[in-house]
A and B are shown apart, each in its own frame.
Chain A
Amino acid sequence: MRSDRGQSAPLGLKIAAACGLLFLHLPILLIFVYAFTTEEKSFVWPPPGLTTQWFAVTWNRPDVWEALSLSVRVAAISTAIALVLGTLCAAAVSQTRFFGREAISLLVILPIALPGIITGIALRSAFALADIPFSFWTIVLGHATFCVVVVYNNAVARFRRTSGSMIEASMDLGADGFQTFRHVVLPNIATALLAGGMLAFALSFDEVIVTTFTAGQQQTVPIWMLEELIRPRQRPVTNVVAMVVVLVTLLPILFAYYLTRDGDQIAGSGK
């Protein structure tokens, strides 16, 4: 189909594309430099000196650890809920045709398609109407709701590639429904679920807009960072936390990409 193989791009296009990619990446790299700066009070560039002392200071800050622990617990439980709900939904939608199928896909996608502030304030006003006090579980409720879509997208893409005849063959060979699920369906979708789970974890770990409405006084890592951005207390500590957050979210994304790269509808497309 394509007759342009081997043809090289015009110089202007190359430069524009390269500049665009640099624009996307340089700011994140800058965070890594600032994590080592000796300057405490301002964002002065170039850094007057480099030091690793702020890593030790950050390590000894209990508020950072508390925020991290809350974030990890919320992300783990939300991911678990999203895995169950997303897989069930994907299995139902992709294996059978029924009335209202389109409506269900829309329902799953809606929490991420509408701006986060709408999801956030909707949950908050619902909690207010129902007199539910803020707690760990109100955060999880919000996070699980928008994490479902990530698992769902990955699982649906994999189900589409898995041929239904394998399930029939398994049944014909005498396996019951549970055995078929355990030995045929699950191994087929496992990597897609793992990828979806990782992305859901990263999404939940990073979420701030909905969380500000459902957390009350509790601090997750993004809320802690938001506080520091609005009312800075110790800038170097914020720098270090920012760098760690970049690394913590980077690894699951790379791993999810690696798991789904062979021809699947790829993991993260359309966050």
Chain B
Amino acid sequence: MTVAALSSNPTPAILPGSGGMRGALSDLFWRRPKLLLLLMLAPPVLWLGIVYIGSLFALLLQSFFSIDEFSGLINREFTLKTYGDLLQAANLDIILRTVTMAALVTLASAIIAFPIAYYAARYARGRWKALFYLGVMLPLWSSYLVKIYAWKLILAKEGILTWLLAKLNLLWLLDAWLALPIVGGNSLSVSFTGTFIVFVYVWLPFMILPVQAALERVPGNLVEASSDLGASPGQTFRNVLFPLALPGIVAGSIFTFSLTLGDYIIPQIIGTSRLFIGQAVYSQQGTAGNIPLAAAFTVVPIVIMGFYLWGAKRMGAFDAL
């Protein structure tokens, strides 16, 4: 029966083309996979190439223009004068302040992130693991402005932090801290301390995730072997755990460092009137209308991040991403 059915309806080994435009196209793609690849790649590459890389070049180009100080018009001729302006004391101050802040924020994020990442990687199982994951993911993805706003509420003079410290009879501590030069101020919401706390809060999840990924790959028996051989927990941490987690920390620091370098909204809302790079860029291109100087300013974080990424790559941080 089956034999008869087969022989009465012989199927050719190669089917004929299904015909029509659609069939022809389908056959063409099958015969020429390169053409299909080209068609698939063209839209995204053209979009990103023109919109993004094109814009970056436009920016770079403008940093070589200069502004005419009398008329305020942009002089479209090649010059390095704008980069020279970057070296003025006020501008160097801004760069130094931003880089210091970025370094401190990175350090603090690493310290706070480590226990969370370590617990999640080594001890949390099943339901708890999912909970930890969401516990990091939800703050990462919740609205950036809402997070800043929440801290404005917390750090305000009449806010919850002052209330809490008053209840604990610790107000003198806050006052003593605010009386300090540089880090202090009228209240936490107009001090560098406030800016620092908010930066750490907002970028912390970006540090936890790569550190956790790096720690997941450390076998538990390595830690046990270390203590079997007589190392104290401190020694185990310094000589075993920390070196193995370092690529993850460096990977996380790429985010915390780069995001702090480029941010202009947090210091504008919570902080002093002294500028950070992002704010300088924003005010130069906006109110001052000096797009060349703004463009030259953005080149600073690009260059710093370039060196940072180069160093991070040498430390093997990209494998931890």
Contact = CB atoms under 8 A, between A and B. Distances in A.
Contact of A31 (B149, B278, B294): B149
Contacts of A250: 138, 142
Nearest to B206: A271
B55 A122 contact: yes
B contact face: mostly helix, strand, loop, or mixed: helix
B33 A96 contact: yes
Given A145-B52, A225-B149, A129 B58 contact: yes
Nearest to A16: B115
Given A27-B201, A115-B263, A115-B301, A42 B142 contact: no
A contact face: mostly helix, strand, loop, or mixed: helix
B168 to A, nearest CB: 14
Contacts of A50: none
B101 interface: no
Contacts of B221: 1-4
Given A121-B295, A208-B145, A24 B135 contact: yes
Nearest to A212: B282
Nearest to B114: A16
A222 interface: yes
B160 A91 contact: no
B261 interface: yes
Given A121-B285, A230-B269, A27 B150 contact: yes
Nearest to A206: B143
B22 A176 contact: yes
Interface stretch (B35-43, B79-87, B170-178): B35-43
Given A20-B115, A23-B201, A115-B262, A4 B122 contact: yes
Contacts of A249: 141-143
Interface stretch (B1-9, B23-31, B89-97): B23-31
Contact of A208 (B112, B122, B265): B265
Contacts of B118: 13, 17
A89 interface: yes
Interface stretch (A52-60, A106-114, A157-165): A106-114
Contacts of A145: 47-48, 51-52
B281 A117 contact: yes
Contacts of B244: none
Given A4-B224, A124-B285, A209-B264, 19 more contacts: A24-B136, A24-B139, A24-B201, A27-B154, A27-B201, A28-B146, A30-B154, A34-B153, A88-B44, A89-B45, A117-B263, A122-B56, A128-B291, A178-B25, A178-B26, A208-B145, A226-B265, A229-B149, A261-B130
25 contacts: A2-B219, A4-B220, A4-B224, A16-B119, A17-B119, A21-B132, A21-B135, A27-B150, A28-B146, A31-B146, A43-B153, A43-B158, A107-B45, A114-B305, A115-B261, A117-B282, A126-B55, A129-B58, A145-B48, A176-B22, A176-B26, A208-B145, A229-B145, A253-B141, A254-B134
Interface of A: 1-5, 7-10, 13-14, 16-17, 20-21, 23-25, 27-28, 30-31, 34, 42-46, 81, 84-86, 88-89, 91-92, 96, 98, 104, 107-108, 110-111, 113-119, 121-126, 128-129, 141, 144-145, 148, 171, 174, 176-178, 199, 202, 206, 208-209, 212, 222, 225-226, 229-230, 238, 242, 245-246, 249-250, 253-254, 257, 261, 266, 268-271
Interface of B: 15, 18, 22-23, 25-27, 29-30, 33, 36-37, 40-41, 43-45, 47-49, 51-56, 58-59, 61-62, 112-113, 115-116, 118-120, 122-123, 125, 130, 132-154, 156, 158-160, 163, 201, 204-206, 209, 219-221, 223-224, 233, 258-259, 261-265, 268-269, 278, 281-282, 285, 291, 294-295, 298, 301-302, 305, 321
